[in-house]
Amino acid sequence: MPKMLQRCQKCMRYTLQKSTCPFCGGPVKTAHPPKFSPEDRYGKFRRVWKKKMEEEKTPSKT
Ligand SMILES: [Zn+2]
């Protein structure tokens, strides 16, 4: 598992320190976006796709 990159909220420098910034002592926060779930997007896409497939599967013409 890769190390989580942290970013200082004070001087905006990147660090691997989790508690405080080694440069200015300011608070650090994870540099990665807190909420990032591509699965949700794909899930939505899958639902639309599934619906489309079901519509195509449904025999409209007997
Ligand atoms: Zn800093």
pTM above 0.75, yes or no: no
C-beta of residue 30 within 8 angstroms of C-beta of residue 7: yes
Q: How confident is the model at residue 48 (pLDDT cuts 50, 70, 90)?
A: confident
In tens, the pLDDT along 3-47 reads 678 999 999 999 998 899 999 999 999 887 656 566 666 677 778
Whether the Cβ atoms of residue 49 and residue 32 lie closer than 8 Å to each other: no
**How far does the centroid of ligand 1 lie from the alpha carbon of residue 35, in Å?**
23
- Domain coordinates in residue numbering, the chain: 1-31
Given a contact cutoff of 8 angstroms between Cβ atoms, the answer to whether 8 and 28 are in contact is yes
Strands (E), 1-62: 6-8, 14-15, 28-30
Query: Residues within 5 Å of ion ligand 1 by Cβ?
Result: 8, 10-11, 21, 23-24, 26
The alpha carbon of 39 and the centre of ligand 1 are apart by a number of angstroms equal to 34
